């Protein structure tokens, strides 16, 4: 790589500033006057040639194409020999065309930061925005970032400061509660096809990057479906993702805003994140179990067997402010019949006879929890995913210590059936869904 002199570096810096300002051209005289201390314009020509050689070596367009003679409005005599010397094809093109080509390339180039970095300058040329963190924001898997700025950079991308980035408008607020430092992000995003508004927020992150503060907070309460992403940390511990929350307008006042947790997981891989809704697994299980208790005919569908093909995802319903995936009781009945009305952990486990149907009592349990439905492209409410358990084993799985062994056993038995229904999951992933 060519070595530039101190003067050439100063000229490169001025040329980069000119690019940043979107100036089409700069005259020899102007450029000479911008260098500190100013130089005679006769010293510009040869030196900007060297800058262009470095540009070429870095794979960038030639900056000296910007510099023109005040009276002729053309580049200096040295420019075309320079193109030839670098091996840039010139045949069949006029000098004016070649010059125009370079000017266009200079304007369109998005990699000027490479020259800035190479020369150790601080011009602030635009840099590529890093890709959003491909990891799910999952409350069960701590993010582990030590500084709020790392949370921002790694989870939401670098271009913060309230700028729009791929459909995001972000604001942030920090506060303390119960000894924990909270940071809350308000992304502009669409939930259920409705865009959340964050226009009421003007927030900044300080230049040091460590402090996030609310700024200009009149009109602070965000109307409509106000969604926030919450991270928290205790003392010098890393940040944890706390989940996705939605404003609870019934409980909120001017001074205090209440939020309801609606999701433990958000996937930021898209420009508009997907929220994985939080579902009260136990409650929905119990609803199904009590439903089955009322069932007179406990008969499976005629000649029922696993159909070995994926089913479409059921449409979620909202009940009591929660998102719930409906469960088909017929499928639960089919599954219990398929298991022969015995506990699948051990068919010898004691049970009793159902009051109405006269069948042996076991409870249906969705092995891959329905709360994870939004992670799967196929229905989880299929017989292949519903196991038959005695009351004790069912409670053991939900509330007991050592449920890992039970789950491993059920997984080993169901692995193939799950796969045939399009539910692809490893044992490790399954255990994670149970906090194991
Ligand atoms: Zn269950
Ligand atoms: Zn059992």
Taking the C-alpha atoms of residue 237 and residue 183, their distance in angstroms, rounded to an integer, is 14
Q: Are 394 and 327 in contact (CB under 8 A)?
A: no
Per-residue pLDDT of 199-252, as tens digits, reads 333 332 222 222 233 333 333 333 334 566 777 777 677 877 877 776 666 666
**Residue 129, domain member (yes or no):** no
Per-residue pLDDT of 238-292, as tens digits, reads 877 877 776 666 666 655 556 667 777 887 665 556 676 656 666 667 778 888 8
Q: Report pLDDT for 368.
A: 94
221 and 143 belong to one structural domain:
yes
Q: Which of 9-15's residues contact partners 24+ apart within 8 Å by CB, and which partners?
A: 9/119, 9/121, 10/35, 10/36, 11/35, 11/44, 11/47, 11/48, 11/51, 12/51, 12/54, 12/63, 12/115, 12/119, 12/121, 13/119, 13/121, 13/123, 15/48, 15/51, 15/63, 15/64, 15/66, 15/67
55 and 76 belong to one structural domain:
yes
- Report residues near ion ligand 2: CB below 5 Å: 343, 345, 349, 390, 393
202 and 113 belong to one structural domain:
no
293 and 429 belong to one structural domain:
yes
pLDDT at residue 18 tops 90 = yes
Where is pLDDT greater, at 320 or 93? 93
**Residue 266, domain member (yes or no):** yes
Residue 184 DSSP SS3: strand
Helix (H) or strand (E) holding 322: strand 322-324
**Residue 126, domain member (yes or no):** no
Ligand in nearest proximity to the CA of 406 = 2
Taking the C-alpha atoms of residue 322 and residue 287, their distance in angstroms, rounded to an integer, is 14
Q: Report pLDDT for 277.
A: 65
Instruction: Report how far ligand 1's centroid is from the alpha carbon of 335 (Å).
Output: 13
Taking the C-alpha atoms of residue 37 and residue 32, their distance in angstroms, rounded to an integer, is 9
pLDDT at residue 150 tops 90 = no
245 and 189 belong to one structural domain:
yes
Q: Which of 89, 119, 149 is the last residue of a domain?
A: 119
Taking the C-alpha atoms of residue 347 and residue 360, their distance in angstroms, rounded to an integer, is 11
Q: Report pLDDT for 223.
A: 34
- Report residues near ion ligand 1: CB below 5 Å: 285, 365
**Residue 43, domain member (yes or no):** yes
429 and 293 belong to one structural domain:
yes
pTM over 0.85: no
Give residue 366's domain range. 280-433
Per-residue pLDDT of 123-135, as tens digits, reads 988 876 556 666 7
20 and 76 belong to one structural domain:
yes
**What is the pLDDT averaged over residues 165-194?**
47
Q: Which of 260, 276, 292 is the last residue of a domain?
A: 276
Q: Give the least confident one: 21-30, 224-233, 320-329.
A: 224-233
Where is pLDDT greater, at 305 or 261? 305
**Residue 70, domain member (yes or no):** yes
322 and 239 belong to one structural domain:
no
Burial class (CB within 10 angstroms; exposed 0-12, middle 13-18, buried 19+) of 30: middle
Instruction: Report how far ligand 1's centroid is from the alpha carbon of 377 (Å).
Output: 21
Q: Report pLDDT for 410.
A: 97
Q: Report pLDDT for 73.
A: 87
Q: Report pLDDT for 140.
A: 74
**Residue 23, domain member (yes or no):** yes
Q: Which of 84, 119, 154 is the last residue of a domain?
A: 119
pLDDT at residue 417 tops 80 = yes
Ligand in nearest proximity to the CA of 387 = 1
Instruction: Report how far ligand 1's centroid is from the alpha carbon of 138 (Å).
Output: 22
Per-residue pLDDT of 53-82, as tens digits, reads 999 999 999 999 999 998 888 898 889 999
Q: Report pLDDT for 385.
A: 97
Per-residue pLDDT of 32-60, as tens digits, reads 999 999 999 999 998 999 999 999 999 99
253 and 140 belong to one structural domain:
yes
228 and 300 belong to one structural domain:
no
292 and 421 belong to one structural domain:
yes
Question: What percentage of the chain reaches a pLDDT higher than 90?
Answer: 39
Number of domains present in the structure of the chain: 3
Q: Report pLDDT for 424.
A: 94
**Residue 246, domain member (yes or no):** yes
Ligand in nearest proximity to the CA of 369 = 1
262 and 293 belong to one structural domain:
no
Ligand in nearest proximity to the CA of 385 = 1
At residue 325, φ and ψ (nearest 5 deg) are -90, 125
Taking the C-alpha atoms of residue 75 and residue 277, their distance in angstroms, rounded to an integer, is 62
Residue 260 DSSP SS3: strand
Instruction: Report how far ligand 1's centroid is from the alpha carbon of 425 (Å).
Output: 18
Q: Report pLDDT for 155.
A: 75
Instruction: Report how far ligand 2's centroid is from the alpha carbon of 345 (Å).
Output: 5
Where is pLDDT greater, at 272 or 315? 315
> How many C-beta neighbours within 10 Å does residue 94 have?
9
- Which residue has tokens 């249906």? 364
Where is pLDDT greater, at 183 or 91? 91
Taking the C-alpha atoms of residue 301 and residue 382, their distance in angstroms, rounded to an integer, is 13
Ligand in nearest proximity to the CA of 343 = 2
**Residue 236, domain member (yes or no):** yes
pLDDT at residue 197 tops 50 = no
């Amino acid at each position: 790589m060519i070595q530039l002199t101190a003067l050439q570096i100063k000229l490169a810096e001025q040329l980069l500033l000119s690019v940043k300002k979107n100036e089409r051209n700069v005259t020899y005289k102007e450029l000479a006057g911008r260098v500190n201390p100013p130089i005679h314009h006769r010293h510009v020509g040869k030196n900007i040639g060297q800058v262009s050689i470095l540009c070429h070596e870095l794979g960038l367009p030639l900056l000296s194409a910007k510099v023109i003679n005040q009276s002729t409005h053309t580049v200096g005599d040295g420019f075309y020999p320079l193109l030839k010397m670098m091996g840039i094809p010139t045949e069949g093109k006029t000098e004016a065309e070649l010059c125009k080509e370079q000017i266009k390339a200079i304007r369109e180039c998005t990699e000027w930061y490479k020259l800035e970095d190479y020369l150790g300058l601080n011009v602030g040329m635009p840099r590529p925005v890093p890709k959003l963190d491909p990891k799910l924001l999952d409350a069960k898997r701590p993010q582990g970032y030590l500084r709020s700025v790392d949370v921002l950079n790694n989870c939401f991308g670098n271009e913060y400061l309230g700028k729009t980035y791929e459909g995001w408008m972000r604001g942030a607020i920090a506060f303390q509660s119960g000894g924990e430092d909270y940071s809350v992000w308000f992304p502009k995003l669409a939930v259920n096809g409705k865009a959340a508004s964050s226009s009421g927020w003007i927030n900044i992150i300080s230049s040091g990057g460590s402090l996030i503060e609310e700024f200009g907070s009149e009109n602070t309460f965000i109307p409509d479906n106000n969604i926030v992403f919450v991270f928290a940390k205790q003392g010098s511990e890393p940040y944890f993702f706390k989940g996705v929350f939605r404003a609870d307008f019934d409980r909120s006042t001017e001074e205090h805003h209440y939020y309801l947790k609606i999701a433990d997981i958000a996937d930021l891989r898209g420009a508009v994140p997907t929220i994985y809704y939080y579902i009260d697994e136990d409650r929905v299980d119990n609803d199904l179990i009590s439903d089955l208790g009322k069932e007179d005919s406990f008969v499976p569908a005629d000649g029922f067997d696993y159909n070995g093909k994926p089913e479409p995802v059921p449409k979620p319903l909202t009940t009591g402010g929660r998102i719930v995936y409906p469960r088909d009781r017929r499928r639960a009945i089919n599954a219990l019949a398929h298991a022969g009305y015995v506990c699948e952990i051990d068919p010898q486990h004691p049970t009793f006879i159902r009051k109405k149907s006269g069948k042996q009592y076991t409870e249906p349990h969705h092995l891959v929890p329905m709360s994870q439905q939004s992670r799967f492209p196929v229905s989880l409410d299929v017989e292949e995913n519903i196991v038959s358990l005695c009351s004790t084993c069912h409670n053991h799985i939900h509330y007991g210590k050592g449920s890992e062994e039970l789950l491993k056993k059920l997984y080993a038995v169901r692995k193939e059936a799950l796969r045939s229904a399009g539910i692809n999951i490893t044992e490790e992933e399954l255990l994670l869904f149970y906090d194991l």
